[in-house]
Structure 1
């Protein structure tokens, strides 16, 4: 007799209410706002506000990202096996958000410690903050399968999540734009922005917990009633073997890594590009970032509809193709071409939304393929490893950029002084990261997407076999 869990489709659950879906989406606001602010501003803050060298500034970010990546599978495993009266995920979210918010505020303070003291101060905060980030974010993401068994409702939940994520990124940039205009002191600008963002993060996380609590309890009652069991404990080695035996997952991970490494590195160096190369102000930079994020938000729903008609690979190719043109065009942009700068930002935003939508919409297909092969659903494992490897890739990329700027002679700003005039070598590094380097990464994502094997037809066959309870035959196009 099979010991596989009974199919959740053997009973009925009430549909998710809009308020529950809104509450779930709200959980991403804090991490999205803080993450967006860090990506766009923190390296520039370290070098041109706090006065740290570029290589040490990049090393701080690498230390934080590596810790963030290492903690992903650990926190994922611990939250899977947490036993409390609040459930498995909620204790992490409730208690982790307080140190998360406090560390974020402290990261934008500039104590009088000297260069070495500041380095250790920010490096320590980066370790604590990124650990706290994982503590709240990974249990939050893992709530998706605990809110519904329904395939389409899970897609809707992720739609709410990404809508809130992009919307909160736009809110962060809009706040930055307003604060940069109203607060004359450059150091105080970032601290005010951090305090407001931390308060929003606290409020939205508790909204998410309160708004999803009853649904999770209801799901738990159904699990007990129908003897549904969570997946068995697996060793780290077993988890790694599962991940690297699934070729479509490796392709999805590569697609996501290429897209987001290109996006994150561009975002990190973009303020240098606008201020040092284009000769524009921080205020103009926030306007440019708003154009990119606003376009991405508007296109999210359009690409989602088109993907149902044309397929995920086709939509990804169209979006990234537009982004490649914009990314390459930034390299040739000259000071004074402000209008063209914003046109390229709009074009890039058309593609950025596909980097949000498509890889994460491919991941459930990969998870169902694994279920077909093994008879078990392993959402936590796949989500944890995808996020972990993405963070390690970004950490490596940021470190390379920081080292390149340092070797190119980038001049950090002395606190309280105007921006330094950068040597041609530093300007070339900034332009190369913006243009050719980012373009190559995006092209790499396109190549990997071409080989992604789970088409709509293949996915329909996977679903048919799952519903029929036939786990012996794997669609041939998905075999590694």
Structure 2
């Protein structure tokens, strides 16, 4: 039976004597982001363009694994919230998830010749390790995200920890998105179109090992330094059906969740399509892709600091609502970019709104969790974050449909059969589709009233 709801005004998270450093917690984002950014940023290019998998087949598998991943999110969250061990609720899952992610990521980008040359076996290999990698990422992030409100109940410290997290995420994007094309194609391997390049996949395989080891090591380092709140161990364990009923009945779950899904889907399209956009639309190479991605991410770092100042002035809700339409407008110049230089300028425009959403999104969701703990007297951060993740993970549906549309509308099938106009195909994929999604997210956000933010400014 659930604990009675605390009296109004009771803090959702009681202070604890043993504290976790915001820096120790925040650096975990570097570990969680490096592997998954390489996976999401290179998986499409690796399997469709390098290995020749049919784009429609890839889209079908991607849809399937996205649905599976959306289902496993609440399961992982529920198990985590109910776990009681001497090491805490979250730490065991973080360590196990890091180990599984390391192995599955390496396998995903290390395809044996016997598998690569057989279309059916290649699809099975891709589906198996893509699903396993994403499941491990879900397990890690359900627990890592749930620690933010628990470890840092004070708004000021929470905002500081979140700022460190987002800075680490941007550093991870520089490494795993920005540098991946040049590292995999020009340093550890060879460009796909270069004379004498017999295996353009070898650089990606080597880099998967390097990034996998680094990412998993950082996750484990962070987890070993976490000091979970022992007082929560004595609470009643949340029940599945009552939790799901209360979460699904929470209007903030639907409105904020839909906005997050729109934003996440737009970014997913950009991440997995950028290398193909550079190759076909800009007619560039791996170095050009690296320059474009690094320029965008580096520009976002000082922008996050600027948005953080605006959060202190306006509050997270107002700042969040202003960042979304700015992010949408950034995709307009990207459509008209016709060179690396103009694409970089357009990318910086996107970074303005992207940084704003990063600076506010987790603060908005943490407020919803605070309210839930106060109302129901039970801490279920992981299942709540996982429920948000269900909507976010379903971006696989959007990505799959968008990719399938390239075959239907533009005739793009694979790197071996790119169709008559792959440049326009990926120009549309990486700019028009994200613009539509963020416009939708902006509209829905106007109906959101974040708990605790009415007329209140952040204290960070």
Asked whether the two chains share a fold, i.e. TM above 0.5, the reply is: yes
How far apart are residue 89 of structure 1 and its match? 1.6
Equivalent residue for 2:173?
169
Q: Distance in 2 between matches of 1:10 and 1:279?
A: 53
SS at match of 1:233: coil
Q: Is this contact kept in 2: 1:404–1:429, CA < 8 A?
A: no
Matches within 5 A, 1:168-187: 168-176=172-180, 177-182=182-187, 183-184=189-190, 185-187=199-201
Q: Distance in 2 between matches of 1:102 and 1:160?
A: 28
Give per-residue Cα distances to partners, 1:210-245, cap 9 Å, x unaligned: 222xx22xx31xx28xxx743542233x33322232
How far apart are residue 208 of structure 1 and its match? 0.6
How far apart are residue 79 of structure 1 and its match? 1.6
The match for 1:257 among 247, 254, 261 is: 261
The match for 2:214 among 191, 200, 208 is: 200
Q: Is this contact kept in 2: 1:311–1:455, CA < 8 A?
A: no
How far apart are residue 459 of structure 1 and its match? 6.4
Equivalent residue for 1:331?
335
The match for 1:285 among 286, 289, 314 is: 289
The match for 2:342 among 340, 343, 366 is: 340
SS at match of 1:370: helix
How far apart are residue 299 of structure 1 and its match? 1.2
Equivalent residue for 1:363?
365
**How many residues align structurally?**
440
How far apart are residue 174 of structure 1 and its match? 4.7
Change beyond 3 A, Cα 1:241–1:174: same
Q: Distance in 2 between matches of 1:11 and 1:431?
A: 50
Q: Distance in 1 between matches of 2:445 and 2:147?
A: 28
How far apart are residue 80 of structure 1 and its match? 1.8
The alignment's TM-score, normalised by the length of structure 2, stands at 0.87
Q: Distance in 2 between matches of 1:109 and 1:360?
A: 34
Equivalent residue for 1:245?
249
How far apart are residue 52 of structure 1 and its match? 0.5
How far apart are residue 171 of structure 1 and its match? 2.0
Give per-residue Cα distances to partners, 1:117-151, cap 9 Å, x unaligned: 10011111122222222222222222234424434
Change beyond 3 A, Cα 1:448–1:303: same
Equivalent residue for 1:423?
420
How far apart are residue 344 of structure 1 and its match? 0.4
Q: Distance in 1 between matches of 2:441 and 2:200?
A: 38
How far apart are residue 373 of structure 1 and its match? 4.1
Q: Is this contact kept in 2: 1:68–1:130, CA < 8 A?
A: yes
Give per-residue Cα distances to partners, 1:406-443, cap 9 Å, x unaligned: 333214235xxxxx66413x444322222332211111
The alignment's TM-score, normalised by the length of structure 1, stands at 0.84
Change beyond 3 A, Cα 1:457–1:159: closer
Q: Distance in 2 between matches of 1:102 and 1:292?
A: 30
Q: Is this contact kept in 2: 1:107–1:122, CA < 8 A?
A: yes
Equivalent residue for 1:435?
431
Pick which of 287-296 and 447-456 moved more.
447-456
Equivalent residue for 2:443?
447
Change beyond 3 A, Cα 1:150–1:428: same
In the alignment, structure 1 segments of 5+ residues that lack a partner are: 415-419, 464-480
Equivalent residue for 2:193?
none
- Relative contact order, higher structure (CA 8 A, sep 6+): 2
Q: Is this contact kept in 2: 1:276–1:421, CA < 8 A?
A: no
Equivalent residue for 1:64?
65
Output the aligned Cα RMSD.
Answer: 2.7
Q: Is this contact kept in 2: 1:409–1:423, CA < 8 A?
A: yes
Q: Distance in 1 between matches of 2:138 and 2:13?
A: 34
In the alignment, structure 2 segments of 5+ residues that lack a partner are: 191-198
The match for 2:238 among 222, 233, 240 is: 233
How far apart are residue 287 of structure 1 and its match? 1.5
Equivalent residue for 2:381?
379
